[in-house]
């Protein structure tokens, strides 16, 4: 990853993109940026509110433009939202301007980690497991296509995942 301008984390909700990302950024002396938080800073409202007012399509548009701007910079560790890979142009930009790491966790791992999560709009339904399985089936090929490296975070603490990744990168 030496020559890539940025380190980009992709992967499903609960994979550890933010918790591992913050630690990795510190290890590598990169600025940590969370694309979801950038969207919230720019709009002044939560992602849940954006989904309520503009629907998922509105959020995706904002996510795409925030990512394009971030990827124009360098020396950043960019943690993306789980659905950022849905957009073909974003996928191309991530590959062009970053070394892309897919943090993987399976649906059982997601259910454990997200059990107390109340602020993710896509998890507001009763049938969380089914929702997560449908999302995983649709997105796994996109994560695979975009990533330079795949790393399974299941059963690893953020600190342990970070130590292992530091050796791999």
- Positions that interact with ligand S3P (CB under 6 A): 13, 17, 36, 47, 81-83, 120-122
Determine if residue 36 is labeled as part of a ligand binding site: yes
Which stretches does DSSP call E strand in 19-98? 31-34, 76-79
Cβ 40 to ligand S3P shortest distance, Å: 10
Cβ 3 to ligand S3P shortest distance, Å: 27
For ligand S3P, give the closer residue by CB, 82 or 109: 82
Structure tokens at 14: 């609960």
Query: Distance between CA atoms of 163 and 20, rounded to whole angstroms?
Result: 10
Query: Distance between CA atoms of 109 and 30, rounded to whole angstroms?
Result: 28
Determine if residue 18 is labeled as part of a ligand binding site: yes
Determine if residue 19 is labeled as part of a ligand binding site: yes
Determine if residue 82 is labeled as part of a ligand binding site: yes
Cα separations (Å) of 69 from 65, 103, 124, 157? 6, 23, 30, 31
Determine if residue 74 is labeled as part of a ligand binding site: no
Cβ 109 to ligand S3P shortest distance, Å: 13
For ligand S3P, give the closer residue by CB, 29 or 47: 47
**Closest C-alpha among 4, 36, 39 to residue 17:** 36
Quick one: angle between helices 88-97 and 128-146, nearest 10? 50
Cβ 34 to ligand S3P shortest distance, Å: 7
DSSP assignment letter at 86: G
For ligand S3P, give the closer residue by CB, 6 or 19: 19
- Per the annotation, binding residues for ATP are 14-19, 120
- Per the annotation, binding residues for Mg(2+) are 18
């Amino acid at each position: 990853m030496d020559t890539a301008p940025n380190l980009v984390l992709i992967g499903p909700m609960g994979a550890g993109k933010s918790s591992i990302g913050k630690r990795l950024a510190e290890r590598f002396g990169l600025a940590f940026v969370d694309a979801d938080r950038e969207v919230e800073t720019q709009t002044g409202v939560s992602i849940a509110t954006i989904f309520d007012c503009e629907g998922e399509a509105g959020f995706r548009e904002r996510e795409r433009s925030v990512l394009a701007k971030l990827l124009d910079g360098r020396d950043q560790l960019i943690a993306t939202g789980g659905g950022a890979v849905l957009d073909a142009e974003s996928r191309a930009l991530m590959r062009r301007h970053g070394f892309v790491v897919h943090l993987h966790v399976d649906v059982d791992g997601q259910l454990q980690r997200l059990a107390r999560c109340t602020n993710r709009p896509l998890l507001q339904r009763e049938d969380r497991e089914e929702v997560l399985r449908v999302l995983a089936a649709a997105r796994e090929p996109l994560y695979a296509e975009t990533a330079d490296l795949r790393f399974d975070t299941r059963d690893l603490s953020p600190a342990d995942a970070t130590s292992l990744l530091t050796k791999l990168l």
